[in-house]
Structure 1
Amino acid sequence: MTKIIGIRHEDKYLMERRVAITPLHIGKLKKEGLQFIVERSAKRIFSDSEFENAGARLADDLKDAEVIFGVKEIPVHHFEENKTYIFFSHVIKGQSYNMPMLKVMMSKGCNLIDYEKIENEERKRLIFFGRYAGLAGAINSLWSMGQRLAKKGVENPFSVLKQAVNYTSLEEARTAISAVGHVISARGLPKELCPMVVGVTGYGNVAGGAHEILNLLPSIEISPAQLLGLDPEKAPSNIIYKVIFREKDLSKPLDSAAEFDLAHYYNHPEAYRSDFEQYIPKLSMLLNCMYWDKRYPRIITKDYLAQLYAKGEPMLKVIGDISCDPDGSIECTHKGTEIEDPVFVYNPDSRQPSMGFKGHGLLVMAVDILPSELPREASLGFGDALFPYVKAIADSDFSQPFADLVLPNPVKKALILHQGKLTPAFEYINNYL
């Protein structure tokens, strides 16, 4: 029997306005016999009336729903016994801050499906907001560059840009950045920014979104090796250089006689150290778009930044830490920032951050929920990817043993909890509980 589907009001962040299933998708799923209850929300990018017009029932809670879709983590007091929850749980790395939430779900016999683990046979994620994180992150980083230079008294073409959340649409942001590109082509960049080099770590969906924005500017791509040989005196002022950094550019084996091997790197990251520092003095901006966990070398450490700034003001002005791993690959990203207060300046001498654009040091943009700065487009894109799986999840009988569950294979592999117990692929999380 098909269950009633609930759509959460997002309450982890004030500016979280995304939704997993939009009115457009509800209208289509209603034709397949599905029923929806939508928790009322004054801040969601889609209005309550849009959901109601699509055929959903509005409610102040989701007590009548058996399968509940959300985006971010859910407060522990909202979980109900034996229900199925689908959201980004952030537990697969054993994140300590979410272990209490997982314990509550286990005690209540809940089922948990995590979007992050819905993957195909090649382990590529099928449902994600990553592209929109890259889009918003690149917009914000260019805006940050403009504001940072303006505070230093440097007139620059980026100063007219706005934070992504302040554009009415992605298209409006694209138009504004394209206009900046025309100015750069015609007039060039200020000498303080020449040559302007933007480094991008990673090459997945997040990086793809960032490149969509960078490609609106007059730019050419060069290799990391070409970057090292770039002569600032010969570089034109009306071109931005883009450099993509892959794993082999970021790390090298501890054994100087060994060559970099990608499979070995993934299986034995402890056998590698960072090789990224040689490029940092050549960069104006770094967009960090790569996956990272604590097994891998950091690419920028606090110790290195102290050494860099001891030599004087570096070329590197802005880090857009789109991946946003606090104390992670960019060690000075001490926390994910909020949309309302998105940037800080990290002082390499005191090793302390100060919020805003002023102060000595390196400006870091590290908004934790970047896709929510483009909430309508991000929700529609996410809903398109999720749509093929919604009915199967709603129809599944979760009272059956795990081996007998009828679910699409990518979804079944993403089932972290079944009847309150960790499924075989995720039993390792017991080590963190």
Structure 2
Amino acid sequence: MLSIGLIREGKIPADNRVALTPAQCKWLHKNFTDIKVIAQYSDNRCFTDKEYAMAGVEVKEDISECDVLMGIKEVPKEQLIPGKTYLFFSHTKKEQEHNQQLFRAIIQKKITLVDYECLTHEDGQRILGFGFFAGIVGAHNGMMAYGKRTGQYHLNRVYQQKDYRNLIHTYFGLKLPKLKIAVTGSGRVAHGVLEIMNLMGIHEVEPFEYLHRQFDYPVYVDLKGRDLYARIEDGTYNRDDFHDHPEQYKCSFAPFAKQTDILMNGVYWDKDIPPLFTKEEFQSDSFNIKTIADITNDAHGSVVVNIGDSTIEEPVYGVDRNTLQKTKPYQQNSVDIMAVGNLPNELPRDASRYFGEQLIKFVLEDLVKGGSPVIERATMVKRGELTESYAYLKDYAGI
């Protein structure tokens, strides 16, 4: 019997998504006699304690009896239970400074950490993630921000809608001005952005057309890796080589920055990958972008003028073109930045259902069996010891 505890989110502000919905827990109990799910009391979940109880899930405060503890965001280090197996997004694989103490506590408390972000198929494709709904909400917020800046149309907030289906209905009759939108990336985030582009009736055009034509209606271009990066030496692009040697590549986004009104950024970024544009290019008179929805949201990352998180309550801030300082949004000499770190929280029930489906389909059975190559690849720490794949984190872990 594998007992799974759904922990209460401890990070502030609290995340309201869940790893498994009440309906999914009920299905697990019915179809797997060797799985039991227990939910810790929580006032913040998008599904209430009552909904879990009605689905046959035991709800209580003490879940220390559980073998596996599942959350969403980072667990505060003082709330970690020694010796347990945890699954959550730790945001430590890139040696993120703000989570270093958490990572060291995981090691000190002899915990096993399986990071959702590191659960991949054999070819490296990620199994789990909220990226699609981050793309949905991020694209909506980017369009909303441009509408507020120009006054040419109006969009309400996503969280004011009951669910994704209701959000779609708000686009009926929406009339957009002629504008150009650049969408970057090829993963789940980009797929979510493209969903909104199509629902809003925005037409896709090829990169050459985008750069060399003007249109009487709104258009977008979908820029993937080979459209954005080229080897410095010979101008070619190979995906595997790019991820292995990003420092040998340059970014080719500059011509698009001159033709774009809104940038929807969903591109993967790591510290050695060149940014989409430099600060000098941002300050140039030819930089045309007015609104940036940085859905990838790496501070000073692929969008160098992302100077930190915004919030669901206040999702947009400005960056002054001259001083590069933070301003209020929608100012004359600023560019608006949407950089929310928990975008799927605006559609938490839909996002949680999607996440739980992938978890059940690709991960839970392996957990019940006691492991698999998929689980091994995602296990950063095993009973307080760094695993071989994550030995590069030795200094970060203080070992």
TM-score, scaled relative to structure 2? 0.94
Query: Does residue 298 of structure 2 align to residue 325 of structure 1?
Result: yes
Query: Does residue 256 of structure 2 align to residue 279 of structure 1?
Result: yes
Q: Is the 8 A contact 2:5 2:37 kept in 1?
A: yes
Aligned residue in 1 for 2:65: 64
Aligned residue in 2 for 1:172: 166
Aligned residue in 1 for 2:354: 381
Q: Is the 8 A contact 1:283 1:315 kept in 2?
A: yes
- Measure how far apart 1:409 and its partner are: 2.3
Identity fraction in percent:
29
Q: Is the 8 A contact 1:345 1:362 kept in 2?
A: yes
**After alignment, is 218-227 or 350-359 more displaced?**
350-359
- Measure how far apart 1:78 and its partner are: 0.9
**After alignment, is 411-420 or 347-356 more displaced?**
347-356
- 1: CA distance, partners of 2:236 / 2:36: 56
- 1: CA distance, partners of 2:277 / 2:284: 11
The change in CA–CA distance for 1:66 and 1:432 in structure 2 (over 3 A counts) is same
What pairs with 1:20-419 in structure 2 (closer than 5 Å)?
A: 20-31=19-30, 32-33=32-33, 34-150=35-151, 156-157=152-153, 159=154, 161-180=155-174, 183-184=175-176, 189=177, 194=178, 196-230=179-213, 232=214, 235-236=215-216, 239-255=217-233, 257-308=234-285, 315-358=288-331, 360-388=333-361, 389-393=363-367, 395=368, 406-419=370-383
Segments of 5+ residues of structure 1 without an aligned counterpart are 151-155, 397-405
SS of 1:215's equivalent in the other structure is helix
Aligned residue in 2 for 1:11: 10
- 2: CA distance, partners of 1:148 / 1:15: 30
- Measure how far apart 1:344 and its partner are: 0.3
- Measure how far apart 1:411 and its partner are: 1.8
Aligned residue in 2 for 1:153: none
- Measure how far apart 1:220 and its partner are: 2.2
- 2: CA distance, partners of 1:258 / 1:5: 50
**Aligned residue identity for 1:228:** L
- 1: CA distance, partners of 2:144 / 2:25: 35
Aligned residue in 1 for 2:391: 427
Q: Is the 8 A contact 1:15 1:372 kept in 2?
A: no
Aligned residue in 2 for 1:399: none
SS of 2:165's equivalent in the other structure is helix
Q: Is the 8 A contact 2:15 2:72 kept in 1?
A: no
- Measure how far apart 1:301 and its partner are: 2.3
- Measure how far apart 1:56 and its partner are: 1.6
The change in CA–CA distance for 1:66 and 1:334 in structure 2 (over 3 A counts) is same
- Measure how far apart 1:15 and its partner are: 5.4
Q: Is the 8 A contact 2:366 2:375 kept in 1?
A: no
Q: Is the 8 A contact 1:15 1:339 kept in 2?
A: no
Q: Is the 8 A contact 2:17 2:72 kept in 1?
A: yes
Aligned residue in 2 for 1:402: none
Segments of 5+ residues of structure 2 without an aligned counterpart are none
**Aligned residue identity for 1:300:** F
The change in CA–CA distance for 1:269 and 1:392 in structure 2 (over 3 A counts) is closer
**Aligned residue identity for 1:424:** E
The change in CA–CA distance for 1:385 and 1:149 in structure 2 (over 3 A counts) is same
- 2: CA distance, partners of 1:55 / 1:329: 45
- 2: CA distance, partners of 1:20 / 1:27: 14
- Measure how far apart 1:264 and its partner are: 2.9
- 1: CA distance, partners of 2:137 / 2:350: 11
- Measure how far apart 1:431 and its partner are: 3.5
Q: Is the 8 A contact 1:318 1:362 kept in 2?
A: yes
The change in CA–CA distance for 1:315 and 1:307 in structure 2 (over 3 A counts) is closer
- 2: CA distance, partners of 1:262 / 1:106: 34
Q: Is the 8 A contact 1:217 1:240 kept in 2?
A: no
List structure 1 segments (4+ residues) > 4 angstroms apart after TM superposition: none
Give the number of the structure whose alpha-carbon radius of gyration is greater: 1
- 1: CA distance, partners of 2:189 / 2:113: 25
